[in-house]
Amino acid sequence: MSTNNEEMKKCECGHDRTHYMVTPDGKYSGMKWFLMLAGISVTPERITYTCRRCNVTFDSTTDPAILRRRM
């Protein structure tokens, strides 16, 4: 049923982006950093997913629906 064909990537340990050992990290452009410092909430440019066990950034997304959830 899913129309999202972005496949679920995994790190070497087999953790995907929903795993509790995986940290989503928002990446912001310079301008957005400035807005955040001013106390304005902004959506990140992209989110990267890093496994805290193997310390590998194995996935990232620019999906607006996911980015908005990170606000």
Sign of CA dihedral 54, 59, 62, 63: negative
* Contacting residue, 6, 34, 54, 70, with Zn ion by CB under 5 A: 54
Chain-centroid distance of CA 2 in Å reads 20
DSSP 8-class letter at 44: -
Q: Of the two residues 35 and 54, which places its CB atom closer to Zn ion in the complex?
A: 54
Q: 10 φ, ψ to 5°? A: -135, 155
Give yes or no for residue 66 binding Zn ion (CB under 5 A). Answer: no
CB of 14 to Zn ion, least distance (A): 7
Give yes or no for residue 19 binding Zn ion (CB under 5 A). Answer: no
Residues in touch with Zn ion (CB under 5 A): 11, 13, 15, 51, 53-54
